Structure 1
Amino acid sequence: MKRLPTAYLLFFALVMPIWLIYMITQNGFSFYNDHWAAPVTMFFGSFVAGATSEGGGAVAFPVFTLLLKLPPPVARNFSFAIQSIGMTSASLLIISLKIPVDWRAIRTVTIGGIPGLLFGAFFVVPLISGPMTKIFFVSLWLSFAFALYLANRKTDRVTTNGLGPLKVVDLVRIVGFGFVGGVITAIFGDGINIFTFCLFTLYYSTSEKVATPTSIIIMTIHTIVGFLLHVFVLHDFQPMTFQYWMCAIPVAILMAPLGAYIINFLTREAIAKFLYITTVVQYIGALIALRPPTVVVLISFGTVVGGFLFFWWLSTIRSGPSPKPSAYVPLNS
């Protein structure tokens, strides 16, 4: 007998009636006249969020800032808001269907990630300009795509289905990556998922099939914290962002879990190729849309090269013998 995604179905049954009542009583369907681009964007973005280590913000942020010319704070807050629906849906589907994840990795990353998110929101975000935020986002992920591509070209690359035995230094490393990823997430509304995905796949040789759903749950936890932070603490959740959010909720709640379901049937090589394509398209699109001045282009190339060297170094410094494939980490571990 096939397992039903009970947790996801309950979430769907809770969210959609509330959304429908609001849209009917508050004339919310009129939002679509000006904000139709949000559901169109998230039709693809939410699928990417559920199917890869990139959150929905990885699509929403560049589209909103580069094509729709919206300020980065609006795009960031929208990313938090829509991921609170889409990635929560995907995570509940993953848990309900018992798709293998590494819960130890999730717990350890969160220890560093939430403090990093708070630190970034209060002390880093105010220092970064709009244009640099946009170009840094796409440059960093392009560098990761290059490193993952080269790592996967190794015919002798062996992957595992979990982090394996961890020493104290490993825990410190994972917490540190979580902190940095939290800071990145505070800037873009997305990032800790793919940043820790880099660590899991390149350093710990975790299979993309396990690292992907693991990173989705990691991003879900941090996107909910980020969403609540901006709504109830920073009080900077803009009315425009709210209207975009309302327009995209039905799409996100369906497409993100669909992506999470489909990805369970793909090979890790197919998942990696999908990541290559999305990051390259994002970067080219950013250069075309922004047409940045020479100095920004140089900074972008420097970020790509520096990030690539870091991620490539990460994939080569793992000491000891090649890891042996192991059983999936149980959900209750």
Structure 2
Amino acid sequence: MIQTFKYKITFILITSIILLLCAIWVISIGTVNTPLNNLPYLLFGDIANTEQTLRNLLLNIRIPRVLLAMVAGAVTAVAGVIMQALFRNPLAEPGLMGISSGASLGAVTAIVLLGSGFIMITTFAFTGSLVATLFAYLIGKRFGHSAGLLLAGIAINAISFSIIGLFTYMANDHQLRDLTFWSMGSLATSSWTILLFLIPWSFILLSILSFQWRSLNALLLGEREVIHLGFNIKNLRRHLILSVALLVGPLVAITGGINFIGLVVPHIMRMILGANHKYLIPASMFGGALLLLGADTLARTLISPAELPVGLLTSLIGGPFFLYLLLSHKQNN
């Protein structure tokens, strides 16, 4: 028991250290490479006027982007952990409740009907994610069990994508280009203004969800067992859904569609550490941050100076892994 505890804690600490080291290394990588030993001088030293452009590049573009990648990866992975516990299914992910499709519908509405800029698009996307989640919850709770939420989420997703298809048909060439790039996901919109809101917001919600590890462990036993253990299943379900919506909604509004992080990372961490959410949540948080940081680094360096949408790379990773989960699940049955 003690050895198992030490192993899990050691794994989480090593993952967090690897994440920190990778973040420092990634800051130096880009169209203009910067030697690692020059970073302290460029960031904090008394630089010459000719090096001011490079300092601005590091401070205002690369560092915010690295931080956004880590926050986005951590948030998406933890949201996946919560959804998989709620539905007791390792194939569940945040999009099941209509969060992503609602955000996409809000963004498409802003792009096609209003021709709006970044602020209006993110506002509409966040609102759309909350509205879609609210409808899914109100419809699903009539069934009294998590399967109802799943069916309601599927229906909301189908309706949202149908309306998105209609708006796509109505869009002109410029709007289609904006719509396509938003749906593929990108971290290029990172800025200190966004991070000053997103980091405290995400930290508070992640902390709240981390303290729910006992109730998440209970959910794995079944809803009747949750009631017998003294948890109010209706309040717990409502709290978890609201927390995930508030956690993922702003992120999807900012980054667009970045898929499969919430599916792949929790499953990998569960295979390594087991299903105890006391360890699964922090491990998934660091693992998700590490995976998205790596994917974004590849996205901005593979065809440099051009840039790939990071959502394409996460889908290339997550798609085959999703098929593997389906095949292994069938074999186990």
TM-score clears 0.5 = no
Which protein has the larger Cα radius of gyration, Structure 1 or Structure 2? Answer: 2
TM-score, length basis structure 1: 0.31
* TM-score relative to the length of structure 2: 0.31
